[in-house]
């Protein structure tokens, strides 16, 4: 299906190889036979988790994000550390490191392709319930504040532009939709 849309990689060149990101420049054959150049970022993938307390509050993290020069409010997340790492294991690790919490139950919500125009990054997003507090242990270069708030407040924060992170917006809105569906509101 849609074979007339596929592009075939003819040549790939590494432009930059960093600790996290790898920039590629590929030459491709287009469906019409012409050649074109594609520059893209190779990413190891990531996992994220939206922790949900029994009373309906969620747990987010506030941190400074250098590329956009802003403090953001996000769900805990991190990159897959090794090729083939189980995304659920990564989500559990990030929840513990960034918030101190562990969860008794995880449910896969979705896989999000973050920026398909220039990156292959996929983020696997989980909902976590049956939360137990513990000691936060962020990476040495991470400075994070854990923040709890009602789910409805997070939805409102999205509407007024206080929450701008795409994975967080996706997880919060999907969780809110699921909650409303269970309550018969959809």
Residue 16 has pLDDT above 90, yes or no: yes
| Catalytic annotation, pick one of 39, 94, 107, 140 | 140
Least confident of 115-129, 157-171, 172-186: 172-186
Count of all residues that appear for the chain in the document: 186
Taking residues 180-186, what's their average pLDDT? 80
Residue 141 has pLDDT above 90, yes or no: no
Q: Is the dihedral of CA 69, 75, 78, 80 positive or negative?
A: negative
Token code pair at residue 166: 């795409």
Q: For the chain, give the percent of residues with pLDDT over 90.
A: 87
Q: Is 78 exposed, middle or buried (0-12, 13-18, 19+ CB in 10 A)?
A: buried
Look at residue 178 and give its three-state secondary structure: helix
Q: Work out whether strand 144-150 and strand 57-65 pair parallel, antiparallel, or are unpaired.
A: antiparallel
Residue 120 has pLDDT above 90, yes or no: yes
Based on the residue annotation, tell me whether 156 is a catalytic residue of this protein. Answer: no
């Amino acid at each position: 299906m849609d074979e007339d849309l596929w592009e075939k990689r003819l040549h790939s060149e590494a432009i930059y190889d960093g600790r996290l990101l790898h920039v590629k420049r590929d030459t491709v054959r287009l469906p019409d036979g012409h050649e074109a150049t594609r520059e893209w970022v190779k990413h190891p993938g990531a996992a994220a988790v939206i922790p949900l307390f029994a009373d309906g509050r969620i747990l987010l993290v506030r941190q400074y994000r250098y590329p956009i020069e802003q403090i953001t409010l996000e769900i805990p997340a991190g990159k897959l550390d090794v090729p083939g790492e189980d995304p659920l294991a990564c989500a559990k690790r990030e929840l513990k490191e960034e918030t101190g919490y562990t969860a008794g139950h995880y449910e896969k919500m979705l896989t999000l392709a973050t920026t398909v125009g220039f990156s292959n990054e996929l983020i696997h997003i989980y909902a976590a319930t049956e939360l137990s507090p513990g000691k936060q242990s962020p990476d040495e270069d991470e400075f994070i504040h854990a923040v709890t708030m009602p789910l409805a407040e997070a939805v409102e924060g999205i509407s007024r532009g206080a929450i701008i992170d795409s994975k967080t917006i996706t997880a919060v809105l999907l969780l809110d939709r699921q909650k409303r569906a269970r309550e018969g509101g959809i």
